[in-house]
Amino acid sequence: MRFSEIVGQERAITTLRETLRSNRIPNAYLFEGPWGVGKTRTALALAAGLVCRTESDEACGVCDACVRVGRFQHPDVRFLFPVMTDADDPESIGETLTEVANDPHYVFTYEKASSIRIAITRDILKELAFRPYEGRRRVIVMRDADRMREDQYSAMLKSLEEPGASTLWVLTTARPNRLPPTIRSRCLKVRFRALTEAEISSYLVDRVGLGAASARLLAALASGSLARALTLRGENVAALRDDALRALGAANSGEPSRILAAASEAASWTNRERMRRTLEFQFLLLRDLLRLKHGAPEEALVNRDRLADLRKVAGTIEVREIRRRAALLDEVVRAIDSNVTPETAFFSAYARWGKALAPSTSERAEAWPAWGDARLDV
Ligand SMILES: [Zn+2]
């Protein structure tokens, strides 16, 4: 767990390296930023840096201290994360830690009601009475620190305020407003940003071993979160994308029977996530068209394996029309969220998609290819 392994986040990491170099360590950090952008990994890399034998601005990754941090076996580094209070016993927490240690692409998921266990914070607060075992400092990394009970925060406060404390708290959160102001005001804030599609895509290619086209599709769906891209990687995104584009081909034909068939197919997916995914791909297609209209380079296109088709459409469709179609997709998203029958929602949008059934928009008909008629080669 080293800074050099973190994707993006140059600003945060520069600050933290400087902290290690100067050895002016605060009592507490609050790592704020969206879900799945590297806050926890960075916190653990900082912890390793603090106990590493080399005492430099980056954990060496190979000394016995670094190795033990990586296995969650270092006595001066504790890692807390939310669990289901009743269901998770110490053993299952240990199993999770083993998985995190062994899988560099591990993604934390937990139930809505999960929280940092009070018994564990109580034990840790007791430990604080003693000096660190080995390192310069004791480090407590607390992931999603907004998931705690009010009385746990008050118990923590004392430690955060103690001058010359030998403990560094590193709290991470994607929801800083849920932390009490008393806690927030005592932490040094470090901001983490959403990752770019290019950063996520290269990570998926270089470190996960995905093909370029799949990586690009996942990165586009990830909304800046590497964790989201990693969660979705089990899905066959290329096939999902093809299905989504094929449905638009049917919509664009203006033939009622094809439109009905496409709407029924979209609605046959019992899983709403899957319906949303279809819509996301359709939005991404429109985004590609808009980008082409505005002269964006090829690299900015998600569906650039279909570049010839994209160019053909972009050459004839108006920006206004692209926006009108995006609004139609928006209607479907809202309809699905408000429990309108999905088939009705899709049919209504697809029926107004093409020119044939929307004579009021009087632009010339564009050259809309039969998207996805052939399987993509990804
Ligand atoms: Zn080391």
Q: How far is the CA of 75 from the centre of ligand 1 (A)?
A: 15
Give me ligand 1 centre to Cα 55, in Å.
8
Gap from CA of 174 to ligand 1 centroid (Å): 29
Q: Rounded to the nearest whole angstrom, what is the distance from the C-alpha of residue 19 to the centroid of ligand 1?
A: 17
Element (H, E) at 336: helix 319-337
In the reported structure, the alpha carbon of residue 64 is separated from the centroid of ligand 1 by a whole-number distance in angstroms of 7
Q: What separation in Å is there between the alpha carbon of 38 and the centre of ligand 1?
A: 20
Q: How far is CA 348 from the centre of its chain?
A: 32
Find the 353 Cα to ligand 1 centroid distance in Å.
59
Q: What CA–CA distances, in Å, run from 18 to 14, 30, 39? A: 6, 16, 17
Measured in Å, residue 56 CA sits from the centre of ligand 1 at 9
pLDDT at 164: 66
Residues paired with 167 in a beta bridge: 138
53 CA distance to ligand 1 middle (Å):
5
Residues in the chain: 378
Q: How far is the CA of 54 from the centre of ligand 1 (A)?
A: 6
Query: 49 C-alpha vs ligand 1 centroid, how far in Å?
Result: 7
Per-residue pLDDT of the chain (378 residues; tens, 9 = 90+): 899 999 999 999 999 999 999 988 899 999 999 999 999 999 999 999 999 999 899 999 999 999 999 999 999 999 999 987 655 576 788 889 999 999 989 999 888 888 888 888 888 888 887 888 887 789 999 999 999 888 888 888 888 887 667 899 999 999 999 999 999 999 999 999 999 999 999 999 999 999 998 899 999 989 899 999 999 888 888 888 888 999 998 888 888 899 999 999 888 877 788 888 899 999 999 999 999 999 999 888 999 888 898 999 898 899 999 999 999 999 999 998 887 888 899 999 999 987 544 444 444 445 556 554 433 322
Ligand 1 center from residue 16 Cα (angstroms): 16
CA of 160 from ligand 1 middle (Å) equals 26
How far apart are alpha carbons 323 and 245 in whole angstroms? 17
pLDDT tens across 116-160, in order?
888 888 888 888 878 888 877 899 999 999 998 888 888 888 888
Ligand 1 centroid, distance to 74 Cα (angstroms) = 12
Q: Which residues contact 267 (CB under 8 A, 6 or more apart)?
A: 275, 341, 342, 343, 345, 346
Q: Ligand 1 centre from 48 Cα, in Å?
A: 7
List CB contacts of 14: < 8 A, sequence separation 6 or more. none
